[in-house]
C-alpha cells in the first residue's frame, strides 16, 4: 500500500524574501523546439507517478501539497523551489516529480522540473524518458538549454535532465554560469514554477551549496527511515535558508493529515 503523506508548513522569515520584480510577461512554454516523449501508463504506475493512477487519495495528497506550497510561494512572490531530504531513499525525487505534475495541472501555471542530482539522477527514470544530455552539458559544454528540454507528454510541464555525471558537481552548481541560469529562469515567466530535485543534504555538499540561490526548500522525510538526529542536523544546516515545509512520506496511517504552524 502506498501510504499517505503529511505536510507541515513552517513559518517563513520575511527578511529573506527575494525582492526581484517579475516582468509583465504571460508567455508559456512553447514545445516547437522541445522534444516530446510520451510516457507509458504502466511505467508511471510502477514508479508511483500520479498520472498513472485514477483519481484518489494518492492524487489528492499531492494536490493538497501543491495548494499549500503555492499559497506560501505566491505570498512571497517566489517561484523557485528545491526538493531535498536529510538522507537517501526518502522519496524526494518522487515527491518533486509528483508535485511538479500537480502544479502543471493548474491552468494558469507551467512547471520546469530540473534534475540537479548528478550522482544519482532519478527524474527521467521515474517518467521512463530517454535522455543522454542535460544540465551538465549546458554547464560544461554550453549546450543550449532548449536542446536539452523534454516534454513528457503532459501539458505545461517540461523536464531538464541532469545529463552526464560531474565529479565537481558542487562547484558547478555554485558557478557564475549556474547562478545566471537560475536568475534568468526565475525572472523570465512569472507564472512558471521551477523545481530543482537535489541530492540528500547529509550525503552530498551539492544541496547545501546550491540552496541559497533558490527561493525556498521543501524537505522530505520518511516516517520509517529518517532518524531524529538526521532531521535535527538537516534543520541546522538549513537554518539560514527559507524552509517552505516538510513532507512526511510513506506515512503508515490511512488518513491524510495536514498541520500548519
Q: What's the predicted TM-score (pTM) here? A: 0.84
pLDDT (average), residues 79-91? 92
What nine digits make up the cell of 212?
Answer: 541559497
CATH number of 4-10+34-260: 3.40.50.300
Whether the Cβ atoms of residue 100 and residue 94 lie closer than 8 Å to each other: no
Write down the pLDDT at residue 253: 46
- Cα torsion at 127, 83, 119, 41 (round to 10°)? -10
Write down the pLDDT at residue 249: 79
What nine digits make up the cell of 118?
Answer: 548528478
Identify the CA nearest to 126 among candidates 59, 37, 30: 37
Question: What is the β-pairing status of strands 35-36 and 258-260?
Answer: unpaired
| Tens digits of residue pLDDT in 161-215 | 999 989 899 999 999 999 999 999 998 887 899 999 999 999 889 999 999 999 9
pLDDT band at 244 (very low <50, low <70, confident <90, very high): very high
Write down the pLDDT at residue 190: 78
Between 256 and 8, where is the model more confident? 8
Write down the pLDDT at residue 199: 95
Cα-flanking dihedrals φ and ψ of residue 183, to 5°? -60, -45
What nine digits make up the cell of 72?
Answer: 506560501
Q: Where are the alpha helices (DSSP H) in 105-237?
A: 123-127, 135-141, 169-173, 176-188, 206-210, 228-237
Q: Is 195 exposed, middle or buried (0-12, 13-18, 19+ CB in 10 A)?
A: buried
Distance of CA 36 to the CA centre of its chain: 20
Cα separation values, 224 from 8, 112, 214, 247, Å: 17, 31, 29, 13
What nine digits make up the cell of 169?
Answer: 558537481
Residue 90 has pLDDT above 90, yes or no: no
pLDDT (average), residues 140-165? 94
Residue 224 has pLDDT above 80, yes or no: no
Write down the pLDDT at residue 196: 98
| Tens digits of residue pLDDT in 11-58 | 333 323 333 322 333 344 444 567 888 788 888 888 889 887 778 787
Please state the three-class secondary structure of 128-153 as a single string: CCCCCCCHHHHHHHCCCHHHCCEECC
Residue 150 has pLDDT above 60, yes or no: yes
| Tens digits of residue pLDDT in 95-145 | 999 999 999 999 999 999 999 999 999 999 999 999 989 999 999 999 999
Q: Which residue is associated with the grid cell 539560514?
A: 240
Between 93 and 9, where is the model more confident? 93
Write down the pLDDT at residue 252: 52
Q: Where are the domains of the chain?
A: 4-10+34-260
Between 201 and 9, where is the model more confident? 201
Question: What is the β-pairing status of strands 157-160 and 110-115?
Answer: parallel
Amino acid at each position: 500500500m502506498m501510504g499517505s503523506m503529511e505536510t507541515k508548513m513552517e513559518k517563513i522569515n520575511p527578511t529573506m524574501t527575494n525582492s526581484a520584480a517579475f516582468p509583465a510577461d504571460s508567455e508559456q512554454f512553447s514545445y516547437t523546439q522541445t522534444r516530446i516523449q510520451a510516457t507509458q501508463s504502466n511505467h508511471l504506475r510502477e514508479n508511483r507517478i500520479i498520472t498513472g493512477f485514477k483519481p484518489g487519495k494518492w492524487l489528492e495528497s499531492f494536490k493538497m501539497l501543491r495548494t499549500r506550497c503555492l499559497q506560501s510561494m505566491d505570498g512571497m512572490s517566489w517561484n523557485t523551489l528545491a526538493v531535498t531530504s536529510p538522507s537517501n531513499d526518502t522519496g524526494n525525487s518522487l515527491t518533486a516529480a509528483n508535485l511538479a505534475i500537480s502544479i502543471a495541472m493548474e491552468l494558469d501555471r507551467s512547471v520546469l522540473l530540473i534534475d540537479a542530482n548528478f550522482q544519482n539522477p532519478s527524474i527521467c527514470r521515474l517518467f521512463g524518458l530517454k535522455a543522454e544530455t542535460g544540465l551538465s552539458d549546458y554547464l560544461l559544454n554550453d549546450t543550449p538549454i532548449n536542446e536539452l528540454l523534454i516534454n513528457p507528454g503532459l501539458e505545461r510541464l517540461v523536464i531538464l535532465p541532469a545529463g552526464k555525471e560531474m565529479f565537481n558537481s558542487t562547484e558547478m552548481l555554485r558557478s557564475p554560469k549556474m547562478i545566471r541560469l537560475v536568475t534568468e529562469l526565475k525572472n523570465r515567466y512569472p507564472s512558471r514554477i521551477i523545481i530543482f530535485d537535489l541530492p540528500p543534504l547529509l550525503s552530498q555538499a551539492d544541496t547545501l551549496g546550491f540552496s541559497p540561490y533558490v527561493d525556498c526548500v521543501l524537505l522530505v522525510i520518511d516516517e520509517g527511515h529518517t532518524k531524529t538526529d538526521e532531521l535535527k542536523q538537516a534543520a541546522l544546516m538549513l537554518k539560514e535558508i527559507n524552509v517552505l515545509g516538510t513532507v512526511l512520506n510513506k506515512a503508515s496511517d490511512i488518513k491524510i493529515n495536514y498541520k500548519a504552524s
